[in-house]
């Protein structure tokens, strides 16, 4: 077997500093053969197989690069040629017969036309332009950025920051520092939130211009397999395309028995408008969006009630991870009803009379100043006449795609919320890049192993990869390392002790397969584990990586050590 220099990153002509074996030595798989030294690090080259060193092809001081033969091993078979790094293609989704008749060149033509400018759409448009395509971006809204920038991720986080400052200031009184009750100027607060949104959406205009991406404003619908008619303020613009990327996103689900035309009934967009601070507010739905808004209005002074149909809030996350959030909000909110549904909302002069029914069938009612409906989002697939282009849309409005983001019509791609769960901006962005790169002729596919989820509540709840609940349901064996933040110096210094960092490992190879974290900044911390999973890191990799002290990031390190049994800041559950 010829042993070659493996992938050593972006390095070439790296000197061989030490040869660690001699001709005739017997080596086991993974035994170090020689050391290379780049200007960044010293790297050992391990033996890819067991065998006897027959020949050493390099001397100390020689310079080598990836693929150079360094040693010949006897008694080991040549490894098969490395397969090209292209993800296997998945089955093409179904198409329908195209009903649209529009053909030829439109008023505007794009090699790549992107429908919708949310995080998925603008990413796809900009990436395709950077790869040399002539790109047109269609957007119905006045400003680019979609739900995320205008009425989602960004404005909610601006308000959550304000909520955090208010509650932290309030809680300092337990530690000897008392601030006056905050005076809230809603106009100023709204202006702050709008300015954050404005900076980002305005930035997108500049980025589009800089790339010569043509933006067509108006609502677009397919009129043929290569044509979209855009209804804008100046009438209809027909936009023809060679390839199209659908990034039409999603909108809040409305419930039929709720008077949505009453201004006291709001969805997340209404909640972010911050028209007033209601005295008593019902948040209908204990998912991420509802709980984030509950957190904002609670801090601003509303008495909040949350109602959730399932037996826990944030149903996707493990129960133990949600518990610290549940305990905290139980102490702050007026009521949290689990396993309870809303059966009626009646608009009265004195408020919105809401009827609830619990899991025993018992009915009760209460009256609120505002009801925020946050029961989920539905994809916009049914609104764009996709059948005119032959693109199939399912009953719920989702568009099926393969792992290259292609719909059943090979020159039309779809990305983001409109293709499925999880409806998250970072998933849309990743898919946008894949679609743009495939449309530009690159060999790309969606092959991310995991997509992290975060609730930016107080405390934050974040998870990535496999959850314990999923492992149990699928019969997958996992072992865990759990570190309670009550033993974290940084968390205690922050005046908080309720966090948990939980890592799940494959017991066969100790690789990390999932993580869930609850605590302040859990959303930032989860990224390390997402990388660890993608890189195939194991408990030793996480436990032996030096984390800065004192930080919350140490809790990831400590959870790995809890699994390993090497922790010294606590008594390890098992010693190794």
Cβ proximity to ligand FAD: between 333 and 456 the closer is 456
- Residue 326 CA to residue 336 CA, distance in Å, equals 9
What is the closest distance, in whole angstroms, from the C-beta atom of residue 90 to ligand FAD in the complex? 20
Which pair of tokens denotes residue 88? 């296997």
Identify which of 85, 90, 116 has the alpha carbon closest to the alpha carbon of residue 442: 85
Identify which of 285, 288, 284 has the alpha carbon closest to the alpha carbon of residue 265: 284
End-to-end CA distance of the chain: give it in Å, rounded.
37
Site string for ligand FAD, 175-214 (x = CB under 6 A): ----------------------------------------
- Contacts with ligand FAD by CB under 6 A: the residue count is 35
- Residue 542 CA to residue 50 CA, distance in Å, equals 28
- Residue 385 CA to residue 222 CA, distance in Å, equals 5
Cβ proximity to ligand FAD: between 138 and 329 the closer is 138
Q: What is the DSSP letter of 30?
A: T
Site string for ligand FAD, 137-166 (x = CB under 6 A): -xxxx----xxx---xx--x----------
Identify which of 358, 368, 337, 342 has the alpha carbon closest to the alpha carbon of residue 258: 342
Location of structure tokens 């993580």: 515
Strand partners, 100: none
Which pair of tokens denotes residue 519? 């605590």
Long-range own/partner contacts, residues 227-230 (CB < 8 A, 24 or more apart): 227/100, 227/102, 227/103, 227/106, 228/106, 228/113, 228/115, 228/138, 229/102, 230/138
* By the rule CB under 6 A, 219 interacts with ligand FAD: yes
Cβ proximity to ligand FAD: between 419 and 567 the closer is 419
* By the rule CB under 6 A, 510 interacts with ligand FAD: no
* By the rule CB under 6 A, 120 interacts with ligand FAD: yes
Which pair of tokens denotes residue 329? 């909000």
What is the closest distance, in whole angstroms, from the C-beta atom of residue 147 to ligand FAD in the complex? 4
* By the rule CB under 6 A, 238 interacts with ligand FAD: no
What is the closest distance, in whole angstroms, from the C-beta atom of residue 232 to ligand FAD in the complex? 9
Whether residue 6 contacts residue 12, with contact meaning beta carbons closer than 8 Å, is answered with: no
Whether residue 362 contacts residue 374, with contact meaning beta carbons closer than 8 Å, is answered with: no
Identify which of 12, 124, 181, 113 has the alpha carbon closest to the alpha carbon of residue 433: 124
Q: Which of 16, 95, 208, 248 binds ligand FAD (CB under 6 A)?
A: 248
Active-site hit among 175, 411, 426, 549: 549
For the question of residue 549 being annotated catalytic, the response is yes
Cβ proximity to ligand FAD: between 284 and 559 the closer is 284
Q: Which of 125, 166, 289, 556 binds ligand FAD (CB under 6 A)?
A: 289
What is the closest distance, in whole angstroms, from the C-beta atom of residue 331 to ligand FAD in the complex? 25
Q: Which of 250, 407, 457, 555 binds ligand FAD (CB under 6 A)?
A: 250
Site string for ligand FAD, 399-428 (x = CB under 6 A): -----------------xx-----xxxx-x
Contacting residues toward ligand FAD, per CB under 6 A:
115-121, 138-141, 146-148, 152-153, 156, 219-220, 247-250, 268, 289, 380, 384, 416-417, 423-426, 428, 456
Catalytic residues: 549
């Amino acid at each position: 077997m010829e042993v070659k220099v493996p992938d050593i990153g972006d390095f070439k002509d790296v000197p061989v500093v030490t040869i660690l074996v001699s001709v005739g030595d017997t080596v086991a798989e993974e035994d170090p053969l020689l050391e290379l030294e780049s200007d960044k690090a010293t790297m050992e080259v391990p033996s890819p197989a067991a065998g006897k060193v027959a020949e050493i092809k390099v001397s100390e001081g020689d310079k080598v690069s990836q693929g150079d033969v360094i040693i010949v091993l006897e008694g080991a078979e040549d490894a098969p040629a490395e397969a090209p790094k292209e993800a296997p293609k998945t089955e093409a989704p179904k198409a329908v017969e195209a009903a649209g008749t529009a053909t030829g060149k439109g008023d505007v033509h794009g090699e790549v036309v992107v429908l919708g400018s949310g995080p998925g759409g603008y990413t796809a448009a900009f990436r395709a332009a950077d790869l040399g395509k002539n790109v047109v971006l269609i957007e119905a809204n006045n400003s680019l950025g979609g739900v995320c920038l205008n009425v989602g991720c960004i404005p909610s986080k601006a308000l959550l920051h304000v909520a955090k400052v208010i509650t932290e200031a309030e809680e300092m009184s337990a530690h000897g520092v008392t601030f006056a009750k905050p005076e809230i100027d809603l106009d100023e607060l709204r202006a702050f939130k709008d300015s954050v949104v404005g900076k980002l959406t305005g930035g997108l205009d500049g980025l589009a211009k800089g790339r010569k991406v043509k933006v067509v404003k108006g609502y677009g619908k397919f009129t043929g397999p290569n044509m979209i008619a855009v209804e804008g303020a100046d009438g209809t613009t027909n936009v023809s395309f060679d390839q199209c990327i659908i990034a039409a996103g999603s909108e809040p689900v409305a419930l039929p028995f709720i008077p949505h035309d009453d201004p006291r009934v709001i969805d997340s967009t209404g909640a972010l408008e911050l028209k007033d601070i209601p005295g008593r507010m019902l948040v209908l739905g204990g998912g991420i969006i509802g709980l984030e808004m509950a957190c904002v209005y609670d801090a601003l002074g509303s008495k909040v009630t949350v109602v959730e149909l399932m037996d826990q809030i944030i149903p996707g996350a493990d129960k133990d991870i949600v518990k610290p959030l549940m305990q905290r909000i139980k102490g702050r909110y007026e009521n949290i009803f689990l396993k309870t549904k809303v059966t009626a909302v009646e608009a009265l002069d004195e408020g919105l009379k809401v009827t609830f029914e619990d899991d025993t069938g018992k009915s009760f009612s209460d009256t609120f100043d505002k009801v925020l409906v946050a029961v989920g989002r539905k994809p916009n697939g049914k609104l764009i006449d996709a059948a005119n282009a032959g693109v199939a849309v399912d009953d719920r409005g989702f568009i099926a795609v393969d792992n290259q983001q292609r719909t059943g019509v090979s020159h039309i791609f779809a990305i983001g919320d409109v293709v499925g769960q999880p409806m998250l901006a970072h998933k849309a962005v990743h898919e946008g890049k894949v679609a743009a790169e495939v449309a530009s002729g690159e060999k790309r596919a969606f092959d991310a192993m995991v997509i992290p989820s975060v609730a930016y509540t107080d405390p934050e709840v974040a998870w990535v990869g496999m959850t314990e609940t999923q492992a149990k349901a699928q019969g997958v064996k996992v072992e865990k390392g759990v570190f309670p933040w009550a033993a974290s110096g940084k968390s205690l210094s922050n005046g908080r002790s309720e966090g948990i960092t939980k890592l799940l490992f494959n017991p066969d190879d100790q690789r990390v397969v999932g993580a869930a974290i609850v605590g302040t900044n859990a959303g930032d911390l989860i990224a390390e584990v997402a990388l660890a999973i993608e890189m195939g890191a194991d408990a030793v990799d996480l436990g032996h990586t030096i984390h800065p002290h004192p930080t919350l990031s140490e809790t990831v390190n400590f959870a790995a050590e809890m699994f390993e049994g090497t922790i010294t800041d606590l008594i390890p559950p098992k010693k190794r």
